[in-house]
Structure 1
């Protein structure tokens, strides 16, 4: 049970989505008090269960997105399975789905059908290109969103190929955005009693966070290209190697920080040089200035350089790998959590909620559900299926899993 003070305590969510973006929505809502019921194929489950890395057959990626959820095994390819989902949707506040647009309607599970039985329902839909537009029927995963949005084109170095990130970047951003949409729809429902259909395309939140790339082109005709660790808008900024081979970042993204950086470097006279006196001038002479910062950082160990930068209040950080993060006292106190109730995952850490609220406690991540682990209990509790009916549905292959 969630903390009674959690903002979404008492909200019930039915998650029909698989793999990454839609389960991220469920995780976001679950983190802040919602009960999340995950509908899975009774035989194979969510394909994310098969992702690597794994620990003794348990997918760590699936664990991160689904710990603490309940699982019902229902075969959505059957008429009776879809009828069970229709009845479950009448008993929840939010339904999350990530099928290709039109699939739910084909199954008789579209917003019109579900909201007829549950007018306050919020249906959150995550798809590659959204529910409308010429591309709406195209399949789309995160990699496609990262390339279609323009992200891959600007990510990386000018002399290297366009680069996608080695993790579910577009899926995560879309999932967080969709969770915000769900929360806004629930807030409006408090005032009006009406539900809502939330439509999130994987590429759109990512295209938004790319900054001024599109505005810049339509205003000036200039296409933004890859600039490595620079921003293309402020200097000096980047990632630099210290004398001990370790790396750190510096972001002198406004005039005050640039001034403090030059003092930290023992070169305050740089501000008197017309090439470096203002940000536009620094951008014009970025390569020359970057060489000076590179040389300064390379003359110290990372710890020494960061100590000097901290003394002068220059925005900077170590470039952490996983081994750095899991021993850092700040991250241990504020950010990292354990998965409870899993013998396989003793002392395993993962990132907790993406934000903190003073009046609600940090959630527990109490184990990873087996496929269909909660099928019998939830079908009985939510839609009144008897033990005999559940047994018959299982014998017919409509439901299943590891009860």
Structure 2
């Protein structure tokens, strides 16, 4: 497995990742993608449950684990044992950031709370991702991403209006909390560079979801307007919908801005629509959304998808197919920008996975290796970083500490 030297903007930053499942590990993935040395701490014997997660597991291998644990070094460590806690503190002495997503209070029960970490490393940044945050009456509740999506307002407005609230096909709540946690970590690192002070980064899943809900709360607070489930459209934003084609496909067209709608009207051979009181303005098109969508659908249904897309692209109207994985792997734009990268894997040869985002021109991140085997880097970290001898490592292993 290649252990290439990181070249991203976080090269030289060491992260101890003590979380499991998704929110904490995804934050660790983002930091590792940007060049950080992420040392993932896992329970001996079983490891992170993410090693077993995923809808497809060819030959018993999770296809999720190689992605969420990429660029990380794996060590085993029993944090419930006093000897394990001491070893963790020794790792903290060599770290810049600790990431954890246990239920609030867990680290404190293990005598590994922020104050203890700070004693060993005054500049340490403790990143805490949880369902409800570290404070407040709900803080000690178990909180998965789906619960945060519901409490943060996303579930209620997702789906068709005549059906119960739906969910996206992704663990979006966990991923949003991890992304916000990473943004907070970068800000905390900058603050420490200026002052030498570490701090706690507290990222709650429900708040990360809430942060993405635009003016949802303000609309209710000021106008008593409650957003509802609206399927593929946003009310009063038209035209912006999926439309049928003659060859049985659907094409997404987003032409709700006045100038863009004018271009669409010209392409449709209906230039007079630009002056019609019912279509001339954004508000008017929103008030006549259903009628307008039907007229556009009648037009798109006369064209094959490829020809329609070429016409729309040439006319400066935003439009596109609704992609599946196979479309992404075949798309020339994906290929040209290397949006999907293939990484060596000992069981599969290579694995296709999303590349690093965002792109930095001077210090780009990279995917250097896939998720490691459990405890693969015990000798490298405990021996090389902490200076433990082979006998000490063997003794700790025999005692179930590592």
- The unaligned stretches of length 5 or more in structure 1 are none
CA distance in 2, matches of 1:13, 1:88: 10
CA distance in 2, matches of 1:278, 1:210: 25
- Tell me the secondary structure at the aligned position of residue 276 of structure 1: coil
Name the counterpart of 2:49.
47
1:243 to 246, 267, 276: 246
Q: Once the 2 structures are TM-superposed, how far is the Cα of residue 360 of structure 1 from its aligned partner?
A: 2.2
- 1:271-286 residue pairs with structure 2 within 5 A? 271-286=274-289
Mapped contact 1:237–1:251 kept (Cα < 8 A): yes
1:246-281 deviation line (CA, Å, top 9, x unaligned): 222111231111111111222121122211111111
- Tell me the secondary structure at the aligned position of residue 132 of structure 1: coil
Name the counterpart of 2:8.
6
User: Are residue 211 (structure 1) and residue 238 (structure 2) matched?
Assistant: no
- Tell me the secondary structure at the aligned position of residue 16 of structure 2: strand
Name the counterpart of 1:154.
157
RMSD: 1.4
Q: Once the 2 structures are TM-superposed, how far is the Cα of residue 2 of structure 1 from its aligned partner?
A: 5.8
CA distance in 2, matches of 1:77, 1:69: 23
Name the counterpart of 1:26.
28
1:273-308 deviation line (CA, Å, top 9, x unaligned): 211111111111110011011112211111111111
Comparing 358-367 and 48-57, the one that deviates more: 358-367
What is the TM-score with the length of structure 1 in the denominator? 0.96
Mapped contact 1:337–1:351 kept (Cα < 8 A): yes
CA distance in 2, matches of 1:187, 1:350: 30
Mapped contact 1:338–1:365 kept (Cα < 8 A): no
1:169-227 deviation line (CA, Å, top 9, x unaligned): 11111111111111111111111011111000011121111111111100101111011
Q: Once the 2 structures are TM-superposed, how far is the Cα of residue 362 of structure 1 from its aligned partner?
A: 4.5
Name the counterpart of 1:56.
59
CA distance in 1, matches of 2:360, 2:388: 38
- 1:323-342 residue pairs with structure 2 within 5 A? 323-334=326-337, 335-340=339-344, 342=345
CA distance in 1, matches of 2:256, 2:195: 44
CA distance in 1, matches of 2:5, 2:262: 47
Comparing 373-382 and 286-295, the one that deviates more: 373-382
Mapped contact 1:5–1:359 kept (Cα < 8 A): no
- The unaligned stretches of length 5 or more in structure 2 are none
What is the TM-score with the length of structure 2 in the denominator? 0.96
1:86/1:362 Cα in 2 relative to 1: closer, same or farther (>3 Å)?
closer
User: Are residue 71 (structure 1) and residue 80 (structure 2) matched?
Assistant: no
1:345/1:333 Cα in 2 relative to 1: closer, same or farther (>3 Å)?
farther
Mapped contact 2:123–2:196 kept (Cα < 8 A): yes
Mapped contact 2:273–2:279 kept (Cα < 8 A): yes
